[in-house]
Amino acid sequence: MAKLSLELWSTLQELTEDEFSKFKWMLKQEDVLKGQRGIPVSLLECADRQDTVDLMVGKYRRPGALQLTTDILELIGRNDLRGRLQNFCQDEKDFKNDRVEKETDKVGKKAELKRVKRFAVDVTLDPDTAHPDLVLSDDGKQVYRGDVTKKLPKSSRRFDSCVSVLGEQRFSSGRFYFEVQVKGKTAWTIGVVRKSINRKGTIMLQPQRGFWTMYLTNGDDYKAIENPAEPLILESPLEVLGVFVDYEEGLVSFYNVDTADLLYSFTECDFTEKLLPYFCPCSNKNGDNSAPLIISDI
C-alpha cells in the first residue's frame, strides 16, 4: 500500500465514531470535489476506515483523495489532523509518484467493483418480449440477431421495431448487479428500463422515457444515452460490461469488469415502477456483428 494511503487510513483512525460518520456523510454529497459526484451511499454504508480510503482513492485517485480528506477534516473541525496530513505530504511528496498512484488506483477500483458484485442476480431473457429477428439460446443467456424474421403471435409485450429483448426478472427495490459479455461485437445497447416503456414502433432510449442505457456503435464509439448522449473514453475495447442498480438511491452504474473502471453513472433517477434488464444486440449487416450478447454467470 502506498505511503499516502497508509497516512489517510491512519488519519481516519484518529476520528471518533461520530466524526467518522460525518466524514462519510460528506463523501456522499454531489460536488464533494469540484465537478465530481459523491460516492454512492450503497458503497459507503458498510465501509470501515480502510474501505473508505480505498473508495476515495479508487474514485478520485490519490491527489483527489488527499484534497477531499483535508477539506472534510476542516469542515468537521479537525484542523489538527488536516495540518498533520498536509505536512506529511509536503515532506514525502508521495502523491506525486505516478507509478504508485496507478497501482493504488487499481486496488481501489477493484475493491469498489467487488462490493457491487455482492448484489449479483441471475438474469435470463424473456422470449415473450423478443423482437422476431432475435435468436435466443435455450437457457435464456444469449441473444443475437438472426437472418430470418420469425412469425410470432402479436403481443403488447413484444418489441416490433427496435431489435431488443428484456430480462424476465423485475426489480422494485434494493440493489442488483449483472454482467454481459460483449466481446466480438461492434454494436449493442444494454441497461435497465421501466416496465411500462414503449415497445412498439420508433423508440427513444432516454432516461425521461424510462431507459437508462449505454451503447456501442462502429466498434469503438461508446456513449451513455443521456439527452444529449455522453461520450465515454475507454483505454481498451470493452469485453464484459457490469450493470449495477440501487433502486432507492436512483442510481444506475456501468463498469468495465476487466479493468474495474466505473464507466458512467446515472444519478437521481426517477424510479417509480418495476425495472427490467434491457438488451439490444443491434444490426448484423454482412455478419460483422454476429457475436451474441451473453449474460454471465457470476
pLDDT at 236: 83
pLDDT at 207: 95
- 40 with 185, same domain: the answer is no
Cβ neighbours of 149 (radius 10 Å):
10
Do the beta carbons of residue 60 and residue 36 sit within 8 Å? yes
Question: In DSSP terms, which residues pair with 215 in a beta bridge?
Answer: 189, 223
Q: What is the pLDDT of residues 227-250, one digit of tens each?
A: 889 999 887 889 999 999 999 999
pLDDT at 4: 79
Q: For residue 76, what are the contacts with CB-CB under 8 A and spacing of at least 6?
A: 19, 22, 23, 26
Pairwise CA distance, residues 61 & 65, whole Å: 6
Helix (H) or strand (E) holding 171: none
Q: Got the DSSP string for 240-264?
A: EEEEEEETTTTEEEEEETTTTEEEE
> How would you class 281 by CB atoms within 10 Å of its CB: exposed for 0-12, middle for 13-18, buried for 19 or more?
buried
pLDDT at 1: 43
CA angle 46, 263, 283 (to 5 degrees): 130
CA angle 55, 60, 62 (to 5 degrees): 90
- 127 with 100, same domain: the answer is no
- 110 with 156, same domain: the answer is no
CA angle 290, 292, 298 (to 5 degrees): 160
- Asked whether the bond before 292 is cis by omega within 30 degrees of 0, the reply is no
Last residue of a domain, one of 118, 135, 170: 118
Cβ neighbours of 280 (radius 10 Å):
24
Among candidates 34, 36, 53, 35, which has minimal Cα distance to 44? Answer: 53
- 248 with 143, same domain: the answer is yes
**Counted domains in the chain:** 2
- Those residues of the chain that have pLDDT short of 50 are 1, 94-100
Last residue of a domain, one of 100, 118, 136: 118
CATH number, domain of 193, equals 2.60.120.920
- 140 with 260, same domain: the answer is yes
Cβ neighbours of 17 (radius 10 Å):
7
CATH number, domain of 50, equals 1.10.533.10
- 134 with 246, same domain: the answer is yes
pLDDT at 252: 96
pLDDT at 95: 42
- 192 with 225, same domain: the answer is yes
Largest CA distance in the chain: 73
- 212 with 146, same domain: the answer is yes
Provide the grid cell at 278: 434491457
User: Looking at residue 72, what DSSP letter applies?
Assistant: H
- 135 with 264, same domain: the answer is yes
Name the residue range of residue 132's domain: 120-295
- 106 with 139, same domain: the answer is no
Among candidates 110, 112, 136, 134, which has minimal Cα distance to 123? Answer: 136
Do the beta carbons of residue 240 and residue 212 sit within 8 Å? no
> Mapping DSSP to helix (H, G, I), strand (E, B) and coil, where does residue 128 land?
helix
- 196 with 227, same domain: the answer is yes
- 58 with 184, same domain: the answer is no
Last residue of a domain, one of 101, 118, 135: 118
Pairwise CA distance, residues 99 & 107, whole Å: 13
Torsion of the alpha carbons at 201, 207, 209 and 215, rounded to the nearest 10: 10
